[in-house]
Structure 1
Amino acid sequence: MAEQKERDRQEDDRSSPLIDQYTARNPEQFARNLARAMEELGKVAAAWTQAREKGEASDVSAAPIADMIKTFSRVSEYWLGDPTRALEAQTRLFAEFMGIWANAIRRMSEAGIPDHAEAPASDKRFQDPEWGRNAFFSFLKQAYLVTSRWALDLVEGADGLDLATRHKARFYMEQVSQALSPSNFLLTNPELFRETMASNGENLVRGMRMLAEDISAGRGDIKLRQSDASQFKVGENIAATPGKVIARNRLVEVLQYAPATENVLKRPLLIVPPWINKFYILDLNPKRSFIRWAVEQGHTVFVISWVNPDERHGTLDWSDYFEEGIRFALNAVEKATGEKQVNAVGYCVGGTLLAASLALMAAEGDERIATATFLTTQVDFTYAGDLKVFVDEEQIAALDKVMQGKGYLDANRMATAFNMLRAGDLIWPYVVNNYLRGKAPLPFDLLYWNSDSTRLAAANHSYYLRNCYLENNLSHGRAVLGGKKIDLGAITIPIFNLAAREDHIAPAKSVFLGSSFFSGPVEFVLAGSGHIAGVVNPPVSNKYQFWTGAKPAGELESWITNAQETGGSWWPYWQTWIEKQDGERVAARKPGGKKKPLGDAPGDYVRIRS
């Protein structure tokens, strides 16, 4: 009812005379609210300053900013190095603005003339009718669209750039373009302008208050709220699949989930999630929980829950994460079930660690992992996507310096980097909604999980960036784990390798190429959607699709052309694959076996907030 009244009010605002829409209804109240907003803005500045005075925040962001300036300089050198090229570029932009002007003249005398430059229908930024019918806002929109497209064309047309520099220039230009959209500013967004006038600026007071709270929560950086966190409680309505904590050390808790069937597969299932964010992306709610679904299919499910690291964990590297993480969990599984072989699942960087661990275990003759499933996992980083923008020697050195001081990287840093991969969906809509409209975001379990980010142990993160993204050592046999060089080619067990077609974090092309480094049989499957939705896609939703086909070789697009498309979730296909490897079943197992559990799932480590 309240939402309907709000929509009716907005419709009335749009249909009212132009001068009324953009005039404060109560000038005196508007002035008071502006003063209150400025007072809240002072609290924003205080929160930002105090965090730096206390040493809680540091400006490591200077490194990527310097890199962006250097990258743009390379593009500018090409266009300004030749007067003819510079004139041609300027002429193209001038012609576009003349097109906007000519179009505006026509619209004054003819009805039904579309704008010279239009955003795609899927672009949610310009859906308000005023962007098209109001001359001022129409000009702003069109000027922005033609300028941003022109700027991106400058990047694409700059000859002589190496692939890495062009990639960075394209990414940075898209970030700047997203940031400068007129939809992000109060006076240039008709919907925001109307709402501000209608509420006499009350939205700005609420927005600046939320901004101050978010900077305080981020200890000097904005911890952008994307969901109403008050609606979720870990262990109650999220991460709530019944189970027990059966083992714990300084790095992990090992969870075992209660059976839901009388008989279970003989081989237990061990899940190795990423330590960037928390494991319950696979246990969001009963309808979307991969963990609950796997239990219902007859798996004895074990999950590693990584600790949210602090200064005590700063020196732990990948060797420690293997020994105290995967090896420790395998020992716990064997003690709880008596089984010497498991099916393992690794998600994202958890899968990358799992692959490195399998290579070391192969060299040691440890055969406890019988099959491995990799979910959107990279083992070769040639085509690692936009995250490579943040990885070069200078930026890693700056990051190392910051991490050495604390022993970890603040959670907000990595969360921001991931959000920037989809800034148009994960950053700017929330900046506008929260801080300009003054509205709290809606409750959404996926975005609650996304905001429940974790710190990253210094040695572990530095190892990952250097050996994977920067030097690509893992796939080239140069990475060292447990004091030994490891070779992915030593992995001969059956592999189920899942990629997601629209993945921005582990691009499908990268995952597909990674299949070629394993010596055993590889079942490559391509899921629809992205890094999260492509994985967390339960059968009951009947969403998206997946592709299966021949052995992953050659180019991904060629493989897709010859692949078979199946509607819905890949989960049942994976279950069939697992049972083909070994479908033997035994009586259901009690969590922990004969040993008394340490507590209820989801445990203590997952509750540690950053």
Structure 2
Amino acid sequence: MTTKTEDPALPAGETLERMTMNLKKVEELSERLHRVMTSRQGHNPALDAPGHDLFGRAAQSWWSEAVHNPAKVLEHQMSYWSDTMKHFVQAQQTLAKGKLSAPEDPGPSDRRFTNPLWDTHPYFNFVKQQYLINAEALTRAVDEMGDLEPLEKNRLTYFARQIVDMMSPTNFLATNPDALERAIETEGQSLVQGLENLIHDLEANNGELVVKLADEDAFELGRNIATTPGSVVYRNRMMELIQYAPTTDEVCKTPLVIFPPWINKYYILDLKAQNSMVKWLTDQGYSVFMVSWINPDPTYADIGLEDYIEDGYLAAIREVREITGEKQVNAVGYCIAGTTLSLTLSLLKQRGDKSVKSATLFTALTDFSDQGEFTPFLTDDFIDGIEEEIADKGVLPSVIMARTFSFLRSNDLIYTPAIKSYMMGETPPAFDLLYWNGDGANLPGKMARQYLRGLCQRNELAEGGFELLGHRLKLSDVTVPLCAIACETDHIAAWKDSYRGVQQMGSKDKTFIVTQSGHIAGIVNPPSRKKYGHYTNPDLSLDHTDWLEDADFNEGSWWPRWEAWLKKRSGKQIPARIPGDSSHPVLCEAPGTYVAGKATL
């Protein structure tokens, strides 16, 4: 392994002194680590892994296969041992040559192994290739396992992948050449800083390890993020209502009210001027209103979906109508807020209320019959664990949801940033989207149970109706003009599942758009970026495969296409409205107070 020194002229005594100081710092940090770990609140162990019964059934399935089809099992084992022994012999031959040369076949490329030493150094190359052999053997064993229900097979595959990702040699100091080189270059300072980063993350989350993805000191709400001018014109126990200042002399008559997800904060749609949907919409001449949800504490334990509808959706629609003097609004719902907007539209239909003129859904699921990558987290043992956590804390803590979402993309959202922060001692990047991602919110206990049991597990909205507020709410009751945007690589709300829900809605006027990229980047895709394109197809009678196959691909952002759709449903031009009125005085300037609430217990 080659090394380099940041200051080659540094005297040996001074180098020793620096290393001694770093060792002393490690002792001090170790004491802090001990304190935070001994005082950690912890969480229900059912949220970390499936029950022993799943692994028991997997073992039973493996032994059954061994008895009934021993040749297959032997073939798998012999293949593994053959690859391992061949690899070992090749490594011995390389070492016997007495020189550190690259093997003839360094193995498959993997972005985790970009350091040249993974290919050129016999030790690191041996470690890498043996890891890849082990990973392939475990993955193949799970793939070929029979006698398991599809749900169990899905869960076993997921947790096997977690084991494979966790055991990567890049995740351990002794087998990570980047981290070792950095430690030598900095006389151990990188390891000290890494330990400090680790302890800071633990302290910030009551002993739970959630890797910080962005430099929190680089952003300040209202200064360089969430900066679009506006005012809070209404507030209740569930939300603040922000009305944005116009940037055009005239605006569309019908106001637009946006309901963001309450799992995170609203400013995903107002990150900075260059990628702010809010600013872009005001520049197009709309009266834009945004709901900013409260970050619930344990006193909100009994708050349910009915409270979000009554004191969130219906209250916001009512106040926007009063402020603007309009009979109708156009509404947008993002993710879980789109699901709940669909519930609200069904309720309004059954009440004969025509307050909503059109609706737009961003990455919203309403039919949960195919739970996709979330299947491992929607089984009884996991949700039982969540309910026990809720019974203990009153809310589903944000840290639990952050961990769950992160493990769906563990290499990108856990291990890679952890290596950079804890092994390399690097400061997380100043990235606005990742800053938002780490600014989570708790979920009220009752609401979390309703969502997970009634909507996700039992799929009641799409199958028979969801009982709420004295009504049985159904997708067929969603009859307003509808535009739905889904994201091609979304791992949270798969586009085909969003599409299936839209197909069941009763609207005669339905538009469906699939944008490239994922749950966030696909939505936060301003035209100026000229990055991701989108697919369109007016024939929503097709199944999702045929819909995409027959769809037209369009270069560039979907925002202008949606805006053209929205403009047709937004009425004539009128003089621009300033925030508030005589009965809705400005309570404070945007971004408001609720958005600053942190998810603490």
Scaled to the shorter chain, the TM-score interval is over 0.9
* Match for residue 187 of structure 1 among 174, 198, 202: 174
Alpha-carbon distance, 1:567 to partner: 1.0
What does residue range 234-249 of structure 1 map to in structure 2 within 5 Å?
234-249=221-236
Are 2:171 and 2:419, in contact at CA under 8 Å, matched by a contact in 1? yes
Alpha-carbon distance, 1:86 to partner: 3.8
Distance in 1 (CA, whole Å) between partners of 2:58 and 2:210 is 33
1:265–1:198 CA distance, 2 compared to 1 (3 A):
same
* Match for residue 344 of structure 2 among 334, 350, 357: 357
* Match for residue 595 of structure 2 among 587, 593, 606: 606
Which residue does 2:8 correspond to in 1? Answer: none
Larger displacement relative to structure 2 (97-106 or 402-411): 97-106
Are 2:3 and 2:185, in contact at CA under 8 Å, matched by a contact in 1? no
1:401 corresponds to 2:401: no
Alpha-carbon distance, 1:318 to partner: 0.4
1:486 corresponds to 2:473: yes
Which residue does 1:19 correspond to in 2? Answer: none
Are 1:268 and 1:300, in contact at CA under 8 Å, matched by a contact in 2? yes
Alpha-carbon distance, 1:590 to partner: 1.3
Secondary structure, aligned partner of 1:492: coil
1:330 corresponds to 2:307: no
* Match for residue 596 of structure 1 among 551, 569, 585: 585
TM-score (norm 1): 0.91
Larger displacement relative to structure 2 (276-285 or 215-224): 215-224
What does residue range 392-431 of structure 1 map to in structure 2 within 5 Å?
392-431=379-418
Distance in 1 (CA, whole Å) between partners of 2:564 and 2:345 is 23
Distance in 2 (CA, whole Å) between partners of 1:593 and 1:388 is 48
Are 1:264 and 1:587, in contact at CA under 8 Å, matched by a contact in 2? yes
Which residue does 2:265 correspond to in 1? Answer: 278
Which residue does 2:326 correspond to in 1? Answer: 339
Which residue does 1:94 correspond to in 2? Answer: 81
1:25–1:142 CA distance, 2 compared to 1 (3 A):
farther
1:144–1:69 CA distance, 2 compared to 1 (3 A):
farther
What does residue range 156-555 of structure 1 map to in structure 2 within 5 Å?
156-520=143-507, 521-555=509-543
Which residue does 2:38 correspond to in 1? Answer: 49
Alpha-carbon distance, 1:262 to partner: 1.2
Q: Give a deviation string over 1:386-442, Cα, whole Å, max 9, x none.
A: 223112222222211221232212211111111111111111112111111111112
Distance in 2 (CA, whole Å) between partners of 1:541 and 1:330 is 32
1:34–1:181 CA distance, 2 compared to 1 (3 A):
farther
Which residue does 2:564 correspond to in 1? Answer: 576
Secondary structure, aligned partner of 1:400: helix
Are 2:298 and 2:394, in contact at CA under 8 Å, matched by a contact in 1? yes
1:13 corresponds to 2:1: no
Distance in 1 (CA, whole Å) between partners of 2:298 and 2:492 is 27
Matched residue count: 584
Distance in 1 (CA, whole Å) between partners of 2:94 and 2:252 is 70
1:73 corresponds to 2:73: no
Distance in 1 (CA, whole Å) between partners of 2:164 and 2:467 is 41
1:563 corresponds to 2:570: no
TM-score (norm 2): 0.93
Distance in 2 (CA, whole Å) between partners of 1:99 and 1:474 is 56
Secondary structure, aligned partner of 1:302: strand
1:117 corresponds to 2:102: no
Alpha-carbon distance, 1:38 to partner: 4.4
Alpha-carbon distance, 1:32 to partner: 5.7
Alpha-carbon distance, 1:267 to partner: 1.0
Alpha-carbon distance, 1:382 to partner: 1.9
Larger displacement relative to structure 2 (37-46 or 344-353): 37-46
1:63 corresponds to 2:46: yes
Alpha-carbon distance, 1:583 to partner: 4.3
CA RMSD in angstroms, aligned pairs only: 2.2
Alpha-carbon distance, 1:353 to partner: 0.5
1:137 corresponds to 2:108: no
Alpha-carbon distance, 1:341 to partner: 0.8
Distance in 1 (CA, whole Å) between partners of 2:52 and 2:108 is 30
Alpha-carbon distance, 1:103 to partner: 4.7
Which residue does 1:5 correspond to in 2? Answer: none
Q: Structure 1: which 5+ runs fail to align?
A: 1-9, 15-23, 52-56
Larger displacement relative to structure 2 (246-255 or 384-393): 384-393
Distance in 2 (CA, whole Å) between partners of 1:432 and 1:301 is 42
Q: Give a deviation string over 1:223-254, Cα, whole Å, max 9, x none.
A: 42111111111111101100010110011001
1:148 corresponds to 2:135: yes
Secondary structure, aligned partner of 1:427: helix
Alpha-carbon distance, 1:557 to partner: 2.2
Which residue does 1:3 correspond to in 2? Answer: none
Q: Which amino acid aligns with 1:546?
A: H
Alpha-carbon distance, 1:75 to partner: 2.7
Are 2:102 and 2:121, in contact at CA under 8 Å, matched by a contact in 1? no
Are 1:388 and 1:469, in contact at CA under 8 Å, matched by a contact in 2? no
Q: Which amino acid aligns with 1:549?
A: N
Distance in 2 (CA, whole Å) between partners of 1:34 and 1:12 is 21
Q: Give a deviation string over 1:75-97, Cα, whole Å, max 9, x none.
A: 33222332524433321211221
Are 2:257 and 2:288, in contact at CA under 8 Å, matched by a contact in 1? yes
Alpha-carbon distance, 1:305 to partner: 0.5
Distance in 2 (CA, whole Å) between partners of 1:405 and 1:101 is 51
Q: Which amino acid aligns with 2:61?
A: Y
Alpha-carbon distance, 1:155 to partner: 1.6
Are 1:383 and 1:507, in contact at CA under 8 Å, matched by a contact in 2? no
Larger displacement relative to structure 2 (549-558 or 135-144): 549-558
Q: Which amino acid aligns with 1:543?
A: K
Distance in 2 (CA, whole Å) between partners of 1:140 and 1:166 is 29
Distance in 1 (CA, whole Å) between partners of 2:104 and 2:588 is 64
Q: Give a deviation string over 1:467-521, Cα, whole Å, max 9, x none.
A: 1221111111331121211111011111111110000100111111111110112
Are 1:420 and 1:426, in contact at CA under 8 Å, matched by a contact in 2? yes
Larger displacement relative to structure 2 (458-467 or 391-400): 391-400
Q: Structure 2: which 5+ runs fail to align?
A: 6-12
Distance in 1 (CA, whole Å) between partners of 2:106 and 2:81 is 14
1:576–1:447 CA distance, 2 compared to 1 (3 A):
same
Are 1:546 and 1:568, in contact at CA under 8 Å, matched by a contact in 2? yes
Distance in 2 (CA, whole Å) between partners of 1:45 and 1:577 is 58
Alpha-carbon distance, 1:127 to partner: 0.2
Q: Which amino acid aligns with 2:531?
A: K
Secondary structure, aligned partner of 2:449: helix
Q: Which amino acid aligns with 1:251?
A: M
Q: Which amino acid aligns with 2:108?
A: E
Q: Which amino acid aligns with 1:570?
A: W
Secondary structure, aligned partner of 1:67: coil
Are 1:47 and 1:215, in contact at CA under 8 Å, matched by a contact in 2? yes
